[in-house]
Amino acid sequence: MTAVTETPAWIAEITMAELEKDPYPFYERLRKEAPVAFVPALGLHIASTRAACQEIGSQSDIWDGVISPAGGRTFGHPAVLNVNGPEHDELRGMVDPALQPSEVDRYVDRLVRPIAKRYVEAFENDGHADLVAQFCEPVSVRALGDLMGLQSVSSDKLREWFHKLNVSFTNAAVDENGEFANPDGFIPGDEARAEIRAVLDPLLDKWTVEPDDSALSHWLHDGMPEGQTRDREKIYPTVFVFLLGAMQEPGHAMASTIAGLWTRPDQFERVVDDPKLIRRAITESLRWTSPIWSAVARVNKVDTTVAGTFLPAGSVVMLSYGSANHDANAYDAPSDYDLDRAPVPHMAFGAGKHGCAGIYFASEVCRIGLEELFESIPNLERDETKEIDFWGWGFRGPVELHANWEV
Amino acid sequence: MTGHTVRLQTLGKVTSCRGDQSLLDAYLRDNVWLPHGCTQGTCGSCKLRVLDGEVDHGNAPAFTLTPEEREQGITLACQATPRSDLLVEPLAEVSDDGVVRHPLRDLTGSVVVLEDIARDTRRVVIELTEAMPFNAGQYAELEVPGSGVWRQYSMANPPSETHRLEFHVRRTPGGIATDGWVFASLAIGDTVDVRGPLGVFGISRPQEEPAILIAGGTGLAPMKSMVLHALAERLVPELYLYHGGRTEADLYDGDLFRALEAEHPNFHYRPCLSEQQWDGATGMVTDVVLEDFESCKGMSAYLCGPPAMVEAAGKVLKRRRMAPRLVFKEEFTDAADLAAAGAPLATAS
Ligand SMILES: Cc1cc2nc3c(=O)[nH]c(=O)nc-3n(C[C@H](O)[C@H](O)[C@H](O)COP(=O)(O)OP(=O)(O)OC[C@H]3O[C@@H](n4cnc5c(N)ncnc54)[C@H](O)[C@@H]3O)c2cc1C
Ligand code: HEM
Ligand code: FES
């Protein structure tokens, strides 16, 4: 591949481990020097500026959605991320109805508020908690789990599944032949997938004959002729998309919002005092630490030039939305969390036909979750004795988030 | 002066506003309720987005209305005057919370009671020529005669009395309305111009949560109205009134509150002194609250007085885990606070 020989050393030498620890310095240089660059460690191109991500993400006539190789290995085909045209329309037609804002408004408060209350009640008298493990992740998975019809699956199991799928999905490193550099990295995802099928198959059997109002029951029946259900091989890859990204990301978003606010104690206090500011706090956090940092890709149908880089038809470009959201051309001091910054729209939910289907649902889950947390523990404080480590390149958020409060 | 037409985008309400009149004033007089608090430009709760037309931002302080907000077409309804016909939209949600609002009106009255009730504190009762319906906790503005200077004072009488308004005024050294008028030339029988009611602070509807009322100095005024109203109408299951002063010389109306306490088992009166040992509570009123309640979860609070006390009380209630959305505040900001907030100096009235 010609692109490899032209690659500057600093790009050629970047490793997954470095990116997962802290992708920002590398990406800052990419945005300045190589907005669309071939990265040998990944075997594909990366778009890092806001303009390039915007252009590629939104021009659906030129760019098709495509799953990264590790993502495809993890989810199988046909995942909603990886299909286009009528096949994509059908899968979006399957997942979208429950996620329309007007529909979400109908159920979301009743669904999420009791869940958030329950998880806060479990630790509110302890005076300390790891908010990632005890609040953000459980609220995130329970809300979507109940919506999907997975009441019988424990929150801990749902968390275990997304963590395992995440490991495989982001096992992106390739060797010089373009083969996966670390094949064992797919074992956790394979295990999770097998277990998911073992748990879900009986549920799908039940919904086949006894449809109910759960999202997965609708996925089986909606748009199908009387008496038929959608082939479950068509459903499972998108189930895995949900059980990873959709389960994990509202949790990342809540945790990053709290971590961001803790960098600005005055703003944290304002938000706790005035819950109406929670929406804005979440929006800024999605820009500041985008949960889906660099996980989705596009492939061009025709030869294209983006940001000066020629891309022959069939080039796979990964959209690093987490980097686009730190583009200094759009945001002043982009690495600072700032509730009051000028409201330039962020790209944390992606763009174009493959843009996130769960924007409204996810935002409402985060809002209601944080409302309940700050309402019950308005004296929440950062535990200053513990570091806040962010991790991840594909998906990114705080690993743990330790808080203290007086009881 | 001719009026400009002002329209509220979502509510569709139209009013006429003179070039020398604030948008808030025009709407409240027209009995269209808009969110607001201080009418002084300090609280920011009256922000409007101007969608069409031009306004003069008046004395809006830079602290409350930032240059960026001005650029985005945001203004303070209590300070802005129209320069053309306008289309506007409040930033805060104008939701129907079931509270009956009373239109703002101009009234006159005469002083029928003027008495010293505590250190540097006077009770002023004004008999109005017409009724001024209001909600417990609201305030009115009094004009320092002939000066064009208006100052805010909270009604201390219950809203059932609409003709006789009781105010508690604390002397501010060097203050135009207090040192220069209420504590100087004001006399029984004097005519006073009044406009009101204003503000959103107070208790007007039944609530499930027990309430803690914390007053500093003449911050007791709206609390007195609220206590009388809430007890008469049984609006609150349990009511705790805290009044903070330095020494006994700062307390007033204690007999009244003790009598209410004897009569109503769900009312508790707790005066606190910060600079005098006595048989009552000693310490800053906020510290006393901190000691009295192990947890304030599920309770609500009303805080009124000097801004520093209100802020300190808010912090204490947070420590005791009261939900911030159930904490209501009225700050007695004055010209010094306004100057600190960056109000244009020459016109600080
Ligand atoms: C909603 C609300 C309700 C209120 N209710 C009550 C109440 O019930 N009872 C009560 O006693 N008070 C109340 N107040 C406060 C009251 O409105 C007056 O602010 C207060 O009485 C002082 O008025 P003044 O004219 O005497 O002083 P001002 O002339 O306003 O001066 C106040 C202080 O600021 C200083 N000052 C003036 N100009 C400047 C400047 N440019 N720079 C720096 N310092 C300056 C003065 O020297 C003085 O110390 C309320 C305030 C609000 C906002
Ligand atoms: C804060 C949390 C979330 C963030 C930041 C987020 C972000 C994203 C991003 C960046 C994409 C890729 C868009 C693109 O390719 O341009 C995406 C896709 C998607 N998201 Fe989300 N998401 C979140 C939560 C959710 C939730 C809760 C759901 C479902 C309930 C969901 C459903 C989807 C689906 C179905 C897709 C694939 C769309 C397609 O390819 O057509 N997301 N999301
Ligand atoms: S009412 Fe306008 S700033 Fe307070």
Which of A29, A119, A37 is closest to A308 using CA atoms? A37
Question: Which CATH number belongs to the domain containing residue A279 in this structure?
Answer: 1.10.630.10
Tell which residue, A296, A320, A323, A300, has the closest CA to residue A312.
Answer: A300
Indicate the pLDDT class of residue B262, thresholds 50, 70 and 90: very high
What b-and-e string marks burial along A110-136, b requiring 16 or more CB atoms within 10 Å of the CB? Answer: ebbeebbbebbeebbeeeebbbbbbbb
CA A150 to chain centre: 20
Q: A272–B318: do the CB atoms touch at under 8 Å?
A: yes
d(CA B25, CA A283) in angstroms, rounded, equals 35
The verdict on a CB contact (< 8 Å) between A375 and B297 is no
Each domain of chain B, given as residue ranges in start order, spans 3-90, 105-200+336-340, 211-331
pLDDT tens digits, one per residue of B217-237: 999 999 999 999 999 999 999
- Give per-residue burial for A389-404: e unless 16+ CB within 10 Å, then b: ebebbbbbbbeebbbb
What ipTM was assigned to the predicted interfaces of this complex?
0.81
Report CA B110 to chain centroid distance, whole Å.
22
Whether the CB of B91 is below 8 Å from some CB of chain A: the reply is no
* pLDDT range class, residue B349, cuts 50, 70, 90: very low
* Bridge pairing between strands A316-319 and A296-300: antiparallel
B321 and A273: CB-CB below 8 Å?
no
pLDDT tens for B200-210 read 999 999 999 99
State the Cα–Cα distance between residues B228 and A315, nearest whole angstrom: 76
List b or e across B107-126, with b for residues whose CB sees 16 or more CB atoms inside 10 angstroms.
bebebeebeeebbbbbbbbb
Neighbours of A330 (CB within 10 A): 19
Quick one: pLDDT band at residue B346, thresholds 50, 70, 90?
very low
pLDDT of A254 reads: 98
CATH for B3-90 (3.20.20.140, 3.10.20.30, 3.40.640.10, 1.20.1300.10): 3.10.20.30
Q: What value does the mean pLDDT take over residues B282-295?
A: 95
Tell me the pLDDT of chain A averaged across its residues: 96
pLDDT tens profile A170-185 = 999 999 999 999 999 9
pLDDT value of position B33 = 87
Of B93, B321, B327, the CB nearest to A379: B321
Q: Is there an atom of ligand 1 within 6 Å of B225 CB?
A: no
Cα of B250 to nearest chain A Cα, Å? 31
Task: Out of A80, A349, A361, give the residue to mutate to test ligand 2, the one with the largest number of ligand atoms within 8 Å of its CB.
Answer: A349
Identity of residue A354: H
B297 touches chain A (CB under 8 A): yes
What's the rounded mean pLDDT across residues B251-271? 98
- Does B174 or B97 have the greater pLDDT score? B174
Say yes or no to pLDDT of A79 above 90.
yes
Q: Which atom of ligand 2 is nearest to the CA of A81?
A: 40
- Name the β-bridge partners of B125: B113, B166
**pLDDT value at position B344?**
66
**Residue pLDDT, tens place only, A189-224:** 999 999 999 999 999 999 999 999 999 999 999 999
* CB within 8 Å of B91: residues ≥ 6 apart: B47, B48, B49, B74
Structural domain harbouring A152: 3-404
B246 touches A: beta carbon within 8 Å: no
User: Average pLDDT in the A43-61 region?
Assistant: 96
- Residues found in chain A: 407
* Helix H or strand E segment including B327: strand B327-331
Q: Which of B191, B203, B87, B43 is nearest to B136 (CA)?
A: B203
Is there a contact between A378 and B321 if contact means CB atoms under 8 Å apart? yes
pLDDT at B246: 96
Q: Is the pLDDT reported for residue A2 higher than 70?
A: no
Instruction: Give φ, ψ of B227 to 5 degrees.
Output: -65, -50
Confidence of residue B303 (pLDDT cuts 50, 70, 90): very high
Residues of chain A contacting B, Cβ within 8 Å: 272-276, 342, 374-379, 405-406
Average pLDDT over every residue of A224-235: 94
CATH, domain B105-200+336-340, list 3.40.50.300, 2.40.30.10, 2.60.40.1930, 3.30.70.20: 2.40.30.10
| Nearest CA residue ID for atom 27, ligand 1 | B175
Residue B93 clears pLDDT 80, i.e. is over it = no
d(CA B214, CA B304): 6
Spacing, Cα A265 to ligand 3 middle (Å): 25
Beta bridge partners of B110: B127, B191
Apex A19 CA angle, A18 and A22, nearest 5: 85
**Which residue of A117, A375, A377 to mutate against B (max B Cβ within 10 Å)?**
A375
Pick the ligand that lies closest to the CA of residue B329.
Answer: 1
pLDDT in tens, A372-406: 999 999 999 999 999 999 999 999 999 999 999 99
The minimum-distance atom of ligand 1 relative to the CA of B334 is 19
> Would the pLDDT of A306 be above 70?
yes
What number does the ligand 3 atom closest to the CA of B76 have? 2
The single residue listed with the structure tokens 């495989």 is A168
Which of the listed residues B63, B64, B135, B153 should we mutate to test ligand 1's pocket, taking the one with most ligand atoms within 8 A of CB? B153
* 3 state SS of B74: strand
Per-residue pLDDT at A5: 52
B211-331 folds as Rossmann fold (3.40.50)
- Residue A290 CA: which ligand 2 atom is closest? 5
Nearest to B35 by CA among B25, B47, B53, B52: B47
The model's confidence at residue A149, banded by pLDDT at 50, 70 and 90, is very high
Give the total number of structural domains in chain A.
Answer: 1
- Range A106-123 average pLDDT: 98
Size (chain B), residues: 349
Chain A contact for B173 (CB, 8 A cutoff): no
Average pLDDT, stretch A41-69?
96
pLDDT at B68 over 90: no
What is the Cα–Cα distance from A135 to A120, expressed in whole angstroms? 7
Q: Number of residue pairs across A and B with CB atoms under 8 Å?
A: 29
Q: Give how far the C-alpha of residue B277 lies from the chain's centroid of Cα atoms, to the nearest Å.
A: 31
Query: In whole angstroms, how large is the CA radius of gyration of chain B?
Result: 20
